[in-house]
Amino acid sequence: MREVAAGRAGNDATIVAVPRPGPRAESLTGSTAAARWGAGFLKTLEDLLAVHLGPIATVLVRNAASRASRPEEIYDSLASALTKPADRAEFLRRAAALRPSGEATQHAAPIAAAPPPPPAAPTMRPTLSPAVLQAAETALAHYMGPIAKLLVRRAADQAGSIDDFRDRLIANLAKPDEAAALRRKLAQDLDRL
């Protein structure tokens, strides 16, 4: 038997067939997987995957962690759920920098460390008030749903200016008419704050 779970990221609906876990697999999920790999490691993977697939990421991470014997097996399993090559590449790049903290790390082969990023020139990040962040989240949630909160936080952390912040939010929408509507809404709401 298979359960079908749907996650929503942007305007693309993704349907993923998730094998229904048997009795043994069920016992390996949850606290056992967290003890084996580290709860923080699994939560970080969920967050990375949720950007692309939404809440179904929790189930996918739990299932992958219960079957894998090495971190790379978890990464590959999760990446296969992503249909866009760019999303897969981004997820694998970020996941490769993670280090499990549970008992599995004692027996696993060491993971090659990701090279440190080049030093960035100091930039002035915009100071975005809570009211601006809330207005942006509300506007984006109209199109994206609950994942908007994470997307707004990520855009705020990465933006170099208020215009860059807006552009990063708008880039999450694939349909030009929705992107244009969000641009107008953000200009209207954020400019008055």
User: What is the reported pTM?
Assistant: 0.41
**CA pair distance 186, 100, nearest whole angstrom:** 39
Q: What is the pLDDT along the chain (193 residues), one digit of tens a residue?
A: 444 444 545 555 555 555 444 444 333 345 677 778 888 888 888 998 888 888 888 888 888 888 888 888 888 888 888 888 888 888 888 888 887 776 554 444 444 455 666 665 555 566 788 998 999 999 999 998 899 899 899 888 888 888 888 988 888 888 899 989 999 998 888 777 7
pLDDT for res 107: 44
pLDDT for res 26: 38
**CA pair distance 9, 145, nearest whole angstrom:** 9
Q: What are the two backbone dihedrals, phi and then psi, of residue 183, each rounded to the nearest 5 degrees?
A: -60, -45
* Two structure tokens written together for 66: 């219960």
For residues 88-111, one letter each, b for 16 or more C-beta atoms within 10 angstroms of the residue's C-beta and e for the rest, the string is bebbbebbeebebebebbeebeeb
pLDDT for res 172: 85
The Cβ-side half-sphere exposure at 20, using a 13 Å CA radius, reads 4
